[in-house]
């Protein structure tokens, strides 16, 4: 960060300081700004902060108003809350959330500049970067918006035939030969990768043994209701909605596929960052503040669920959103559990850092399933797309801790370890089931 940059120190305020669950001890003094008794958050902030962390000269945001696209999903919450809580004002910008109909629409509007940035699928950004799944354009990931919190849903008709997990699905598909159809939300996106990975882990080749179709998230439940698919992978609350409507059941959560997996990101074009670096930094910092707010307490999560349930955002019942936000799961077949690995928006900053290894993993899966014909330079692409430099500046402003490394490793549901510091080409080619 430039040495002349002066950042006013924010006055920390909690939304629910009268409640016992207000702020976990692990977050210490890094407490979230919020509304208290309906008051505007900005009335509680030091005037120097209210005027913007970068208030003058070349450090001021180049665009004081930004339009950020989102799809009606629970994990759009930090973008929405940054706006509705007024946290954007703290950094000298105004965020206008823009509800979009599909990921293809988000892609197109990012590429043509109708949107300044978006709540977007990690793999979509990388697909555009490499010219798969749409036009080729240099892109940027500013931050990760969340970990976990998606689900694979199978139809109630499959449950009636005895399907309750991946093994029984494989057995049925082997016994009863027909066309099986599974839906994801975008060909290069996260939901496609979770669906394909899970099917393959259970011995089902998604490219040969089934048909994959693309359906926008809010339309998943309606399409299953009329019998257009046997299963789907999508973000919440649509997995929970399918159970509430008694048309499907959760066969697997995505956090069971990969604990603390990367999911949505704050994405934009490289061109936007080049022209508006201060604005990009301000957007990131404001959404980091909102991420902290959401994860700070049960009360804050409830407030968030109430906010995003509105027609202008997700447009569903608040309880459908809240239960899985709080880790209260039911699979629709009688099993209930409290999931410690439910959707995380902050996780002491771990849910927000744009790890290079996360971006590289999506590239390996795009190669695995034939979306990429040749191996890319995995690390070089990730370094170009994931703007760790801007993230670190925004994290400093928002007082968010940083990890010790730009890489992390994980063991997925099939027991295979992903370690980006080794050989990503060998990893991508090493799967028994692939395109």
Residue 119: both structure tokens together = 């709540």
Residues 6+ apart with CB under 8 A from 230: 154, 155, 157, 158, 180, 181, 182, 210
CA 204, 210, 216, 220 dihedral sign is: negative
What's the rounded Cα separation, in Å, for the pair 323 and 340? 13
Residue 394: both structure tokens together = 């925004």
What's the rounded Cα separation, in Å, for the pair 316 and 309? 5
**pLDDT > 60? residue 54:** no
**pLDDT > 50? residue 360:** yes
In the CATH scheme, what architecture does the domain 151-260 have? 3-Layer(aba) Sandwich (3.40)
User: Are 25-148+263-411 and 151-260 equal in CATH topology?
Assistant: yes
Q: What percent of the chain has pLDDT over 70?
A: 87
pLDDT digits (tens, 9 = 90+) for 86-134: 999 999 999 999 999 999 999 999 999 999 999 999 999 999 999 998 8
- What pLDDT does 159 receive? 98
* pLDDT-based confidence at residue 57 (cuts at 50, 70, 90): low
pLDDT digits (tens, 9 = 90+) for 190-201: 999 999 999 999
DSSP per-residue letters across 390-429 = HHHHHHHHTT----S-S---EE-TTSPEE-TTS-HHHHHH
- What pLDDT does 234 receive? 98
* pLDDT-based confidence at residue 275 (cuts at 50, 70, 90): very high
What's the rounded Cα separation, in Å, for the pair 429 and 368? 7
**pLDDT > 90? residue 14:** no
- What pLDDT does 248 receive? 98
Residue 115: both structure tokens together = 């949107």
pLDDT digits (tens, 9 = 90+) for 278-335: 999 999 999 999 999 999 999 999 999 999 999 999 999 999 999 999 999 999 999 9
Mean pLDDT within 376-404: 98
- What pLDDT does 59 receive? 85
Based on its alpha-carbon atoms, the radius of gyration of the chain, rounded to whole angstroms, reads 21
Q: What percent of the chain has pLDDT over 90?
A: 86
List 117's β-bridge partners, or say none: 68
- What pLDDT does 73 receive? 98
- What pLDDT does 407 receive? 98
pLDDT digits (tens, 9 = 90+) for 26-45: 333 333 333 323 333 333 33
Phi, psi of 183 (to 5 degrees): -110, 140
* pLDDT-based confidence at residue 4 (cuts at 50, 70, 90): very low
Domain ranges of the chain: 25-148+263-411, 151-260
Phi, psi of 232 (to 5 degrees): -155, 160
CA 280, 286, 291, 292 dihedral sign is: positive
In the CATH scheme, what architecture does the domain 25-148+263-411 have? 3-Layer(aba) Sandwich (3.40)
What's the rounded Cα separation, in Å, for the pair 157 and 51? 57
- CA 112 remoteness from chain centre: 22
**pLDDT > 60? residue 11:** no
What's the rounded Cα separation, in Å, for the pair 431 and 226? 35
- What pLDDT does 32 receive? 35
CA 350, 307, 289, 5 dihedral sign is: positive
List 264's β-bridge partners, or say none: 121
Q: What is the mean pLDDT of the chain?
A: 89
**pLDDT > 70? residue 413:** yes
**pLDDT > 50? residue 16:** no
- CA 24 remoteness from chain centre: 23
Q: Which residue has the tokens 């099993």?
A: 335
């Amino acid at each position: 960060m430039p040495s002349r940059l002066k950042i006013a120190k924010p006055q920390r305020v909690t939304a629910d300081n009268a409640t016992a669950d207000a702020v976990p001890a692990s977050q210490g003094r890094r407490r979230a700004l919020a509304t208290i008794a309906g008051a505007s958050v900005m009335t509680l902030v030091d005037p120097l902060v209210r005027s913007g962390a970068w208030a003058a000269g070349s450090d001021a945001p180049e665009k004081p108003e930004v339009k950020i696209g989102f799809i009606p999903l629970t994990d759009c919450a930090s973008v929405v809350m940054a706006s509705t809580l007024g946290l954007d004002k703290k950094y000298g910008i105004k965020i206008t959330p823009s509800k979009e109909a599909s990921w293809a629409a988000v892609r197109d509007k990012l590429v043509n500049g109708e949107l300044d940035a978006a709540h977007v699928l990690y793999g979509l950004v990388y697909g555009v970067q490499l010219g798969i799944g749409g036009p080729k354009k240099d892109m940027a990931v500013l931050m990760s918006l969340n970990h976990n919190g998606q689900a694979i849903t199978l139809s109630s008709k499959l449950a009636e035939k005895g399907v309750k997990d991946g093994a029984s699905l494989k057995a049925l598909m082997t016994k009863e030969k027909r066309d099986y159809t599974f839906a994801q939300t975008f060909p290069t996106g996260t939901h496609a990768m979770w669906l394909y990975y899970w099917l393959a882990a259970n011995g089902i080749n998604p490219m040969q043994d089934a048909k994959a179709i693309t359906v926008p998230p809010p339309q998943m439940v309606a399409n299953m209701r009329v019998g257009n698919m046997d299963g789907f992978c999508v973000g919440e609350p649509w997995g929970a909605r399918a159970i509430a409507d008694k048309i499907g059941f959760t066969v697997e959560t995505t956090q069971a596929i990969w604990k603390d997996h990367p999911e949505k990101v704050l994405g934009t074009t490289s061109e936007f960052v080049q022209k508006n670096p201060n604005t990009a930094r301000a957007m990131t910092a404001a959404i980091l503040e909102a991420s902290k707010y959401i994860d700070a307490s049960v009360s804050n999560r409830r407030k968030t669920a109430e906010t995003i349930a509105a027609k202008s955002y997700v447009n569903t019942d608040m309880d459908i959103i809240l239960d899985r936000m709080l880790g209260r799961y039911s699979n629709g077949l009688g099993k209930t559990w409290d999931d410690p690995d439910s959707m995380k928006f902050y996780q002491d900053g771990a849910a927000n850092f744009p790890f290079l290894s996360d971006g590289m993993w999506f590239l390996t899966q795009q190669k695995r399933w034939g979306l990429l014909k040749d191996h890319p330079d995995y690390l070089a692409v990730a370094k170009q797309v994931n703007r760790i430099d801007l993230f670190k500046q925004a994290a400093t402003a928002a007082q968010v801790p940083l990890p010790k490394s730009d890489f992390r490793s994980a063991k997925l549901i099939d027991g295979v370890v992903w370690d980006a510091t080794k050989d990503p080409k060998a990893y991508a080619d090493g799967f028994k089931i692939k395109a």
